[in-house]
Structure 1
Amino acid sequence: MKRRDFLNAAALGGAAYMTGLPQFANAKTLTTGQQDHTYFANLLEKICSPILHLMANEQFHAKFPLEVGANSDGRDHRVAYLECFGRTIAGAAPWLALDTPGPEKATRSKLRDQAIAAYENSVNPKSPDYLDWQVGHGQMLVDSAYYTQALIRAPILWQKLTRKTQQRIVKEIKALRKIPPPYTNWLLFAAMNEAFLMQVGEEYDPIRLDLALRKFLEWYVGDGWFADGEHFAFDYYGSYVIHPMLLDILEVMAAHNTYFWHGDIKDVLATHLKRNQRFAEHLERLISPTGTYPPIGRSFTYRTAAFQPLAQLALKHKLPDSLPQGRVRAAMRAVHEAIFSNPSNFSKEGFLKIGFAGADLSLADWYSNNGSMYITTASFLPLGLPLSDPYWQVPGEDWTQKLAFSGQKFKKDYSVSY
């Protein structure tokens, strides 16, 4: 398919043309919001279906084609499989957990069953797709956090697992405590696992939670931005890890009224939410009139995960008043089209490739592989809202740069002190 034909098909509101499956709906009969929903649902199905299918059928290790750049550090390739599955499910989980009528319900139900089977296989030592949890590489701590974050975001996935599998997951997660996280965003990976243990009623380590929160309170540099450790870097790690994981961790802690040295945990959560919302305002203003955005910093091959905070706040109905739902949805649609309109993002077998707005192996980071790319699913979180939700029903709106560069009125921007 030529690039122009691919783009025209995407603009009609579906990605089923990429998979050979029937479209979830006829775009010509839908509202703009419904067309957007169809577009996102089809695209997420295209991204996650090959991974969940293989893993549910115990063929993941055998058939997932590993890809790394020339600058790879040569790490044990076994880390890639947890990386790929954990990141895929972290973004897809809210959609798979949804149990509402709709044209994609059957597909969603099939993928949910596959995800549950994948979780079962992931901790079964006798399965070909056991994820080699104790491989000894620190990367396993990183992606265990996405694996458990999915279970926090979609408790139904945990509830549908067998008791044996639940016990195995808890055992593997606790065993990863032997990996010491460096004083960077990695502190949040350790804390996410403890928040998960707290949520499912298991013994958790309060020190790992406390330390992560203490350090990120220290590393807040203002106006919604955090340093990732002692030094600030202009990149998207506030989106990939810091803001979303802090919010999910704090919500679990607040729900359990967990003690925190800094004060009432609910007050800490409220402050972080305001900072998260401010960061989201910056992200929205980075989106150009055509949906492009700056390819800055390390890991920008994670593509649309750069906008995870916008997606997460939309899912939780916590977008600030300055970011109307229709504006965010329209901007996010433009972003995804700008990235995924190029068919080279996917291999001929349907797997994501390393790249940005298309495949480009030269952009690989030394620590990444093609499994790392699946964190892009984090920008699809609003699919966890039913089609009847206002997010999908309100009219779309022009976003800030589109207003600014078309001569329309738009709101000035000022820094905040919280």
Structure 2
Amino acid sequence: MKILKISLLIATISLANLNLIQAQKTKGKVQNTGLQERAYWAKLLYKMASPVILNLSNSTLKKNMPVEVPPGMKTDFFKKVTYLEAVGRTMAGVAPWLALSDDNTDEGKMRLELRTALLKGIVNAVDPANPDYLNFRTESQPIVDAAYMAQAFLRAPKALWEPLDAVTKSRVIEEFKTLRTRTGAYNNWLLFAGINECFLLSVGEKPDPARIEFARKKMIEWYKGDGWYSDGPSFSMDYYNSYVIHPMLVDFLKVLSDKKRVPVEEYNTALQRMVRYSEFSERIISPEGTYPAMGRSATYRTAAFQALAQVALMEKLPEHVSAAQVRCGISAVMHRMFDTCNNFDSNGWLVLGFCGSQPMIADSYTSTGSLYMATLGFLPLGLPAHHPFWTDPAADWTAKKAWSGAAFKKDYHVEY
């Protein structure tokens, strides 16, 4: 009887310890919430974007931003274009986040600081007398980075366009019109020229219809199927469908459909194709939070997930892809890329590379300003903190399910 009592006591203690351990595990999971991940995203985006935005607002961008270029390349050309690259690309990435309403949270204070600084910075960027007056008027590259600025204005007109004074708006419009003196490459660059004209159309200016129609017709022609576009006449296996094509084409066609320039069905088809492509983006995230460093422009880092991020922002994720699994998958990539790799120099500027400083992998057109494409992976921050994207319980993404032996949805081919 005594032995039985001791055995029961041991069993009771063991059960209590097991429950305590389980409670601690559960507590740990609860602590790792979507809101904590949101705080991580916000701090990381602030760290990435603030050197560009704060320096531009203080007229010190050209003074303080380094111009790192691939080995063997000279900086002379890049100094003509890299600053607009940094500004336009950063603006496109932060725009949805800065469009949120103000609040007194730590995140809200960061947003307010960056929005206030960016509005001042835009004034500086188009003021010919300012040290940080940006180059829209020479070289072809500004066609590209004005397009990202245009996309930012389209993504957050009330936050970034409407508050500007009349003189600054007039100057921005004039700079965009000067882009018409040049042409670019026969690929996704057509879309850059087209969206610049769509921005002008959106603010009441007369666009160049030829640039719009050429971009529109060629992108339709270059669709290859199953959610993939060719970047020009030849197909390239890289991330340009996410860096540029899907997000910019959808934003481009949204303006045109809203203005009754194209049928709304054309916009809906482009959106449907981006949704399909986003499924591939979600599936390439490995269980460890890595993804293949393939194709051109690997130094754009998290921009590889812009299409997936935009579909999440638009609340258009496929039915079988939950917001939580997208949040957790992209968070895993961010943690893997930015917690284990030092992607910033001692002054907080991004460095050439994919995972850390790897200048040898940079393309010939890449410089410091180019790297701020990475901000484009943060678009879901434009969803408020109470949105299910941030509040739903954590969920495994597709590759994590597949490699753990759990059930996951088989892939398929689509005809649209």
Task: Answer yes or no: same fold by TM over 0.5.
Answer: yes
- Percent sequence identity is 46
Partner residue of 2:131?
128
1:126 is paired with a residue of what secondary structure? coil
Aligned length: 386
Task: Return 48-57 or 97-106, whichever deviates more.
Answer: 97-106
The residue type equivalent to 2:251 in the other structure is: D
* CA distance, structure 2, for counterparts of residue 317 and residue 210 of structure 1: 29
The CA RMSD measured in Å over matched residues stands at 1.5
* CA distance, structure 2, for counterparts of residue 107 and residue 286 of structure 1: 32
Partner residue of 2:51?
50
Deviations 1:105-162 (A, max 9, x none): 112101101000110000000000000221x211111111011111111102101111
The residue type equivalent to 1:181 in the other structure is: G
Partner residue of 1:162?
165
Is 1:279 matched up with 2:277?
Answer: yes
Task: Return 207-216 or 37-46, whichever deviates more.
Answer: 207-216
The residue type equivalent to 2:400 in the other structure is: K
Is 1:197 matched up with 2:200?
Answer: yes
Residue correspondence of structure 1 range 192-271 to structure 2 within 5 A: 192-258=195-261, 260=262, 264=263, 266-271=264-269
The residue type equivalent to 2:186 in the other structure is: Y
* CA distance, structure 2, for counterparts of residue 71 and residue 229 of structure 1: 28
Partner residue of 1:61?
62
* CA distance, structure 1, for counterparts of residue 78 and residue 186 of structure 2: 23
Superposed displacement of residue 341, structure 1:
1.4
Q: Which structure 2 residue ranges, 5 or more long, are not aligned? A: 1-27
* CA distance, structure 2, for counterparts of residue 174 and residue 215 of structure 1: 22
Partner residue of 1:370?
368
Superposed displacement of residue 65, structure 1:
1.1
Deviations 1:36-68 (A, max 9, x none): 110100000100111111110001111111100
* CA distance, structure 1, for counterparts of residue 47 and residue 132 of structure 2: 21
Superposed displacement of residue 76, structure 1:
4.4
Deviations 1:332-389 (A, max 9, x none): 1011111111352000001100100111111111000011000100000111111011
- 8 Å contact 2:78–2:367 — kept in the other structure? no
Superposed displacement of residue 391, structure 1:
1.1
- 8 Å contact 1:308–1:379 — kept in the other structure? yes
Deviations 1:196-254 (A, max 9, x none): 11111111122211111110111111110011111000000000000010011111111
Partner residue of 2:39?
38
Is 1:152 matched up with 2:154?
Answer: yes
Partner residue of 2:393?
395
Among candidates 309, 323, 329, match of residue 321 of structure 2: 323
**Which has a greater percent of helix?**
2
* CA distance, structure 1, for counterparts of residue 281 and residue 191 of structure 2: 21
The residue type equivalent to 1:178 in the other structure is: T
2:224 is paired with a residue of what secondary structure? strand
Is 1:142 matched up with 2:144?
Answer: yes
Superposed displacement of residue 415, structure 1:
0.9
Deviations 1:277-312 (A, max 9, x none): 110001111110011000000101100000001111
Partner residue of 2:331?
333
* CA distance, structure 1, for counterparts of residue 74 and residue 30 of structure 2: 51
The residue type equivalent to 1:86 in the other structure is: G
- 8 Å contact 2:136–2:143 — kept in the other structure? no
Partner residue of 1:311?
309
TM-score in terms of structure 2 length: 0.90
Partner residue of 2:99?
97
The residue type equivalent to 2:239 in the other structure is: Y
Residue correspondence of structure 1 range 289-304 to structure 2 within 5 A: 289-304=287-302
* CA distance, structure 2, for counterparts of residue 228 and residue 343 of structure 1: 30
Superposed displacement of residue 319, structure 1:
1.3
* CA distance, structure 2, for counterparts of residue 29 and residue 214 of structure 1: 50
- 8 Å contact 1:61–1:128 — kept in the other structure? yes
Partner residue of 2:117?
114
Relative distance call for 1:73 and 1:214 in structure 2 (3 A) is farther
Superposed displacement of residue 77, structure 1:
1.7
